[in-house]
Structure 1
């Protein structure tokens, strides 16, 4: 069985335990682990399956799990490209979120952050989603391109409206971009992984045996990931805006107005530094679903009451 899948099935972790695990998996040093070290860690988990499953206090085993979980896809067992590993998510998206929420001073300053953000998050969502549904590379590329183009267009609408109509209402000017930013992020996740809910994803028993492809499990996986994205980006955009609103009224800002950018960027990074592991931890990466909620043809293949699937990130 794929070690990462085995880990998710064996470990019934609480939200707090998942949060602590993600703080380790999001360590930026996971981006520069050599392929040789990853292969050695995987070999250790394969050859010492029983000890790897039970002796999680062994430092060698803990390090092996950290390297495997942070760099290898649990469905395909393939190495995740460094730029799309979970550890790269915060360093790359935090500046994009900050720039997307700053007032635009021209077309380029308005378009580039949005285009960069949705190009990266669309690719990240597809690569780190479930890979067990039937598809061709061309289909994934076309789907990703379509989602990226439509998300970037929708994301630009609030700023285009403000440029055209000069909206002065504070709530519309500040709240509308945040709401649309969060909603488009969720819709982008739904669309990026739409094949999972229409074609079905693999569900397995506790031994890792594939019982079939379930559209219901696919819908559950996509829905949970989309909810976590809305919470992540909605909170990460909303709190810095509220902070900025009050910061502008302080004496320090009146004396040093140039400090706004630095302070808001720091606030955005701080909020996202908490929200990224929190959103990734909302639901287990290896999801569980009652067999009674799956398709009849899958129910007839097993007597297990609970089955498993890769929700993705």
Structure 2
């Protein structure tokens, strides 16, 4: 416990990012929904505290805990590239509270065609906004690029879900009960594939234009398409993994709960229980999935474009993967 708040290092995570455990603890801070209730005054005070530390004008008596908490608040609310506030529903700390609504809707049993389309559209719309809000924004991008990505992702989600459901309805060897059970798992392949496509399309400009690579002092060394490919690939993998525990575990749990006398006696409790199960699974899956890779990626200069070796004498450079 004595090392709970180590000496503060500006701009660096409190936990070791070379291990999954360290990244998990870091992203538990990033997705902490309590930061959604941060007042404007508290945010300004946190930013000022960090600015004073950076300038060397910090008043005496400020603890490491206060500095780490200030950085947690700033990182949860302010985009690292644009310096602007991220709209609350699209922050990583808002992903679970706001996203649980769509996850619960996706898993509702006995959905009709219109319901299925609505929930897939709503889910991918939210995912697209989260991807856009947490992108690497070191380079300006035309809005048309994001519109194209959004349309492509929504079309993919609806197309996959509808196609799988149509195939299921034609499967004569399944009884109605078994069809209903299998139908509950259709959202996963639809959402996983569409979320991956969503990420690639929404961030396609990074692949064509590159992203900024900096040294350990934060100075921009250049723009790299290689770094962009690595950033988008790792984020896409995260988006593919994320829906697995969210859309696979709840149907298994709910199938077991539906067989209990409690649900038979109190059928109106089905929806709130499902929402609670989805929230817990989402809350655990989100930090675990985004912890698969660090947000700030170290890369050897020899693994970048040849011109980087002429621009800097440093062996290791860095770039923001985005979330």
Shift of 1:49: 1.9
Task: Quote the residue 2:207 is aligned against.
Answer: 197
Q: In 2, are the aligned partners of 1:287 and 1:311 still within 8 Å (CA)?
A: yes
Task: Quote the residue 2:53 is aligned against.
Answer: 48
Matched, 1:117 2:123: yes
What is the aligned counterpart of 1:59 among 62, 65, 70? 65
CA offset digits 1:247-292 (Å, max 9, x no partner) = 3444544555554433333221111111111122221111122222
TM superposition score normalised by structure 2: 0.83
CA offset digits 1:161-193 (Å, max 9, x no partner) = 445767837485454442332222222212221
Matched, 1:73 2:47: no
- The unaligned stretches of length 5 or more in structure 2 are 1-8
Q: How many residues align?
A: 307
What is the aligned counterpart of 2:157 among 151, 155, 164? 151
Q: In 2, are the aligned partners of 1:9 and 1:206 still within 8 Å (CA)?
A: no
In 1, distance between residues paired with 2:51 and 2:140?
A: 27
Matched, 1:15 2:25: no
Shift of 1:294: 0.9
- The unaligned stretches of length 5 or more in structure 1 are none
Partner of 1:300: helix, strand, or coil?
helix
RMSD between superposed Cα atoms in Å: 2.9
Change (3 A) 1:50 1:281: farther
What is the aligned counterpart of 2:109 among 103, 109, 112? 103
| More RCO (CA 8 Å, sep 6+) | 1
TM superposition score normalised by structure 1: 0.85
Change (3 A) 1:137 1:110: closer
Task: Quote the residue 2:314 is aligned against.
Answer: 304
Task: Quote the residue 1:37 is aligned against.
Answer: 42
What is the aligned counterpart of 1:278 among 285, 288, 292? 288
What is the aligned counterpart of 1:264 among 266, 274, 298? 274
Change (3 A) 1:150 1:184: closer
In 1, distance between residues paired with 2:159 and 2:62?
A: 47
Shift of 1:71: 0.6
Task: Quote the residue 1:86 is aligned against.
Answer: 92
Per residue, is there more helix in 1 or in 2?
A: 1
